[in-house]
Amino acid sequence: MKNTKRAKLEAAGWAVGSVNEFLGLSDADAALIDMKLALSRSLRERRTKQGLSQVQLTERLQSSQSRVAKMEAGDPSVSMDLLISSLLLLGANSADLAKAISGEGRSRKGRAA
């Protein structure tokens, strides 16, 4: 946010801060959320690169399409274990998971802040 906009908002009585401050997240909480969202993005990218629909992935996972949609959206009800096991089922290895989590190859703009 530009400093001029921030100053105007603060002058009008608004509190300006980060999402982490607003939600009261620790650095560890924020990092965990970033990792989960990165794994969710990676799952969607890997599925689409393999030409699979969500329904086709559900057949492999023995799950439901709505569950896959939640996984790809980073829904809080989805565990990181499920994301990782799904990625492994699609052929990811530990190096692929590390790249996804680290955001390697992504611009800062494309990553969750």
Domains and CATH numbers, the chain: 43-105 (1.10.260)
pLDDT in tens, 94-110: 999 999 999 775 544 44
Helix/strand/coil for 18: coil
Q: Give the mean pLDDT of 56-77.
A: 95
Predicted local distance difference test score (pLDDT) of residue 103: 79
Q: pLDDT tens-digit profile of 44-58? A: 999 999 999 999 999
What sign for the dihedral angle of Cα 97, 98, 101, 105?
A: negative
Question: The pTM is what?
Answer: 0.76
**87, 38 Cβ separation under 8 angstroms:** no
- How far apart are alpha carbons 16 and 1 in whole angstroms? 10
Contact 55, 65 (CB under 8 A): yes
